[in-house]
A = this chain, B = another copy of it.
Amino acid sequence: MGKENFVEQIADINQDFPQWYTDVVIKTGLVDYGPVKGTMVIRPYGYAIWENIQKELDKRFKRTGHKNAYFPLLIPMNFFTKEAEHVEGFAPEVAVVTHAGGEELAEPLAIRPTSETIFGSMYSKWIQSYRDLPVLINQWANVMRWEKTTRPFLRTSEFLWQEGHTAHATEKEALKETKKMLNVYKEFAENCLAIPVITGRKTEKEKFAGAVATFGMEAMMKDGKSLQAGTSHYLGQNFAKAFDIKFLDKDGVQKYVYTSSWGVSTRLIGALIMAHGDERGLILPPVVAPVQVVIVPIAQKKPGVLEECKKIKRALKNAKVRVELDDTDSTPGWKYNEWEMKGVPLRIELGPRDIEAGKALIFRRDTQEKVEYSLDNLAKSVKQLLKTVQQDMLKSARVRRDNRITYAQDIQDILYGVENGKFVKAGWCGCRECEDRVKAETAATARVYAEGEQSETCAVCGRKAEHTVIFARAY
């Protein structure tokens, strides 16, 4: 392989987006395929993104009063049958342990696809009185859903996620929690991932199996398709009744609790890649980038160059910038390509002439601009620039997305919109037949209700519209 032109190994983003995605995730070392079909190995560069995501989210969960815990991986199969919709939704995807310790088990055990049931069984034990409420617990865990078609980060049999499970005395409080966590996700997606998201309620067809209502956040990928980046479910008393989670209220009456659950997963890494990447590879927002700044020395064998680079590296480290100095033997051009493919937000180029002039060139991955900065106070400039990049990435993603939202009056409009990579808003009567027809004729699904918007008529049947829905093809 010729080192100078290795960027050509990535498929053209405009010609073959799926192949571009696969090339990028594998060639930047984010992920590799595991030995079992449908599994992935999250390599250090990919896992470092997940660690940054975890750190930011965990801070937010704790700030909103949640505590972490860890519940078992294995769930008795009969737990799933206790909530009728839940078993229907998850049973077909479950992986089952039938043997352990050299013996066949008396009852087969499911590897958790999600943990409402096992949280429910413990909550029924722990919750006795109104004084025990609310219970606000989150867990970081692996889950497993056996899928026919898999793609790294987007859909794999095993993935990492967090799942919050809360119990409350009243419907009002549980619903408030459901929406609060949706907003936590939205704020995080925008400020940390630089991905603008549309949040809203999902249709009955698209809701979580066992929920009363599911709220989702949808992000537009560069091909115009939508990616469900997180969900928050209001579960009403469905799981409380299935698992007998009751409390003695202040008025002396035994009541069922109201529960919520909410989660985001390593899918977010897929969202990052497809929301920001370009023909050269990844573009990572500084808040979650494993490496925020790479220093590339020019003519590195000339006296003083590496010393100055190391000095800058130390200064950036002290300023808590995640920085790498690439002093390998490759040419600067090869290094540029490699670190651009890896999506590092800023590159500092420094050669003998720069040092003499007391300047450094800084290249921005997001805008491809090169700007000269004084070596004095470089760490401060870099920190400021990282903030700017973070904000600008959100702004441009928002402009890109807003330019690709359209309105449809009929099903032809919807088809035309999604064929052109757009999110399409359209009136919907609320009936399942019309929703299914959209799917059948356009391959688009109802993503979320467009909140606060009112359409006159259903784009499918022409009857009175109950909701305005955002339709899109989705991952």
Measured CB to CB, the residues of A under 8 A from B are: 32, 34-36, 39-44, 46-48, 50-51, 67-76, 79, 91-102, 108-109, 111, 118, 121-122, 125-126, 137, 141-142, 144, 146-148, 157-158, 160
Q: List 27 A–B pairs whose Cβ atoms lie within 8 Å, in order of A's numbering.
A: A32-B122, A32-B125, A35-B79, A35-B118, A35-B122, A36-B72, A36-B74, A39-B72, A43-B69, A44-B69, A44-B137, A46-B69, A48-B68, A72-B158, A73-B158, A74-B144, A92-B101, A95-B97, A96-B98, A96-B99, A97-B111, A98-B98, A98-B99, A100-B146, A101-B146, A111-B111, A141-B142
A405 to B102, CA, bound (A): 39
Chain B residues closer than 8 Å to A73, beta-carbon distance? 111, 142, 144, 158
Choose among B32, B47, B51, B96 the residue that contacts A97 (Cβ–Cβ < 8 A). Answer: B96
Q: In the bound complex, do residue B122 and residue A74 qualify as a contact, i.e. CB atoms below 8 Å apart?
A: no
Interface centre among A39, A51, A70 (most CB of B within 10 A): A70
Number of copies: 2
Bound-state CA distance A111–B111 (Å) is: 10
**Which B residue's beta carbon lies closest to that of A106?**
B37
Query: Is there contact, CB below 8 Å, between A72 and B146?
Result: no
Q: Is the CB of A70 within 8 A of B41?
A: yes
| Contact (Cβ within 8 A) B95 A99 | yes
With the chains together, A210 CA to B32 CA distance in Å?
26
Nearest B residue to A122 by beta-carbon distance? Answer: B41
In the assembled complex, the Cα of A32 lies from the Cα of B43 at a distance in Å of: 34
Cβ-neighbour of A44 out of B67, B91, B118 (below 8 A) = B67
Q: Shortest Cβ distance from A250 into chain B, in angstroms?
A: 14
Contact call B118/A70, Cβ cutoff below 8 A: no
**Would you call A69 and B92 a contact (CB within 8 A)?**
no
Q: How far is the CA of A79 from the CA of B36 in the complex (A)?
A: 11
Q: Once the chains bind, are B97 and A68 in contact (CB under 8 Å)?
A: no
Task: Give Cα A46–Cα B71 distance, bound, in whole angstroms.
Answer: 12
Q: Of all chain B residues, which has the CB nearest A94?
A: B100
Q: Is the pair B95, A69 in contact by a Cβ cutoff of 8 Å?
A: no
- In the bound complex, how far is the Cα of B71 from the Cα of A277, in angstroms? 25
Minimum CB–CB distance from A379 to chain B (whole Å) comes to 21
Chain B residues in 8 Å Cβ range of A72: 34-36, 39-41, 158
A36, B137: Cβ atoms closer than 8 Å: no
Q: Which chain B residues lie closer than 8 Å to A101 at the CB level? A: 92-95, 146-148
- Nearest to A43 among chain B residues (CB) is B69
Nearest B residue to A32 via CB reads: B122
Contact between chains at A36 and B98 (CB < 8 Å): no
Q: In the complex, how many angstroms separate the beta carbon of A449 from the nearest chain B beta carbon?
A: 32
Task: Decide: B93 and A70 in contact? CB cutoff 8 A.
Answer: no
Kindly list chain B residues whose C-beta atoms are within 8 Å of the C-beta of A43. Answer: 69
Q: Is the CB–CB distance between A70 and B92 below 8 Å?
A: no
Given contacts A35-B72, A43-B69, A100-B157, 14 further A-B contacts (CB under 8 A): A32-B125, A35-B75, A35-B76, A41-B71, A42-B71, A44-B137, A72-B158, A74-B158, A94-B100, A94-B101, A95-B99, A96-B97, A111-B111, A142-B142
Bound-complex Cα distance A141 to B140 (A): 10
Per the bound structure, the CA–CA distance linking A121 and B33 in Å amounts to 11
Which residues on the B side are within 8 Å of A70 (C-beta)? 41-42, 47, 50, 160
Q: In the complex, A249→B58 CA distance in Å?
A: 43
| CA of A101 to CA of B101, assembled, Å | 23
